[in-house]
Amino acid sequence: MKKIVNLLSFLGLCAAYHLTASDKTMHTIFVPGVSASINRVNAYVKAGAFAGQKHSNIVFPDQKKPKKFIDKIIYRFAKKRGRTVNRSKIVLGNRHDITTIEKAVQSAKNQEPNTNGILFGTCRGASVIIQYLSQNNAEWVKGIVLDSPFADPNVLLKDRVTPALVKILLPKFNPNAPTPLEGIKRIKNKKVKILLLFAEGNHSKGGQIKGDTVTPFNKHIKPLYDEFKRHGFDVTMCGYKAEHCGGIDSEKDMGDQKVYLKQLHKWYQNNGFRNP
């Protein structure tokens, strides 16, 4: 059972936000990733990652309590370890993941008409942001923060489990669905500003830098960056010294939370995304 939860948990932590244009109030939507706690947003608020922006939190279907017996067992086991795993709802950035962001954006627009947004995501959350933009014009979204996204979920899974095991662990995952890398060319909002963050690895373990073992730079980050540039997007790429999606948590593993936040705030400031 522990191995199953670990295999699902590796899919990482994802999150999404959104900001405004300089003449409007900013609102950040936080969209957590696979196996992330529903309260994950609190760590970002506490660290000051939102730069004073208004914020809201997305809850994906795979974070909600399952109905099937085996899924309930896995869910309870994971929850005791601070994670939420409903394996029957994990689709890794397609279908209802995209719909969830669509509803969150519409809700923010309805509740606060005088805002624009920035979507902030980690791992799956970052990847589904790309998918969302590829299917929606989304002019309300002025910027996106992508922390450790995967370019192709099939590559992500292939590095860790066999295809047969994927079908057992993730019964709703569609390996033939469009990938985030393929989706970039379909993004219509060419004015959206992009901050692409990646983990360089934990610097506290014997001084050895292993890099991100979940979304390795050369397999995921670099291809996405090159594709954004190829299609004329304004994209900034920065690394931080921590493990996968650990920029906010990096104080406890001797990483560099200050650098992570400095990069975020500088990008916000340069693009006029900070609330007065």
DSSP state of 87: G
In a domain, 86, yes or no: no
pLDDT for residue 16: 36
Low-confidence ranges of the chain (pLDDT < 70): 1-23, 51-52, 202-210, 250-255, 275-276
Domain residues for 187? Answer: 13-63+91-270
pLDDT for residue 14: 38
In a domain, 203, yes or no: yes
pLDDT for residue 175: 92
Listed in order, strand segments (DSSP E) in the chain are 25-31, 54-57, 115-122, 141-147, 193-199, 234-240
In a domain, 276, yes or no: no
Nearest in space to 93 (alpha carbons), one of 4, 22, 182, 158: 182
pLDDT tens digits for range 215-251: 999 999 999 999 999 999 999 999 988 888 888 875 4
For residue 27, report the phi and psi dihedrals to the nearest 5 degrees.
Answer: -135, 125
In a domain, 239, yes or no: yes
pLDDT for residue 12: 44
In a domain, 264, yes or no: yes
Maximum Cα–Cα distance across the chain: 52
pLDDT for residue 154: 95
d(CA 101, CA 226): 25
pLDDT for residue 17: 35
Calculated CA dihedral for residues 104, 109, 110, 115, nearest 10 degrees: 140
In a domain, 253, yes or no: yes
d(CA 247, CA 75): 26
In a domain, 78, yes or no: no
CATH number at residue 209: 3.40.50.1820
In a domain, 224, yes or no: yes
Query: Domain total for the chain?
Result: 1
CA dist 28 to 120, 193, 275, Å?
Answer: 7, 14, 11
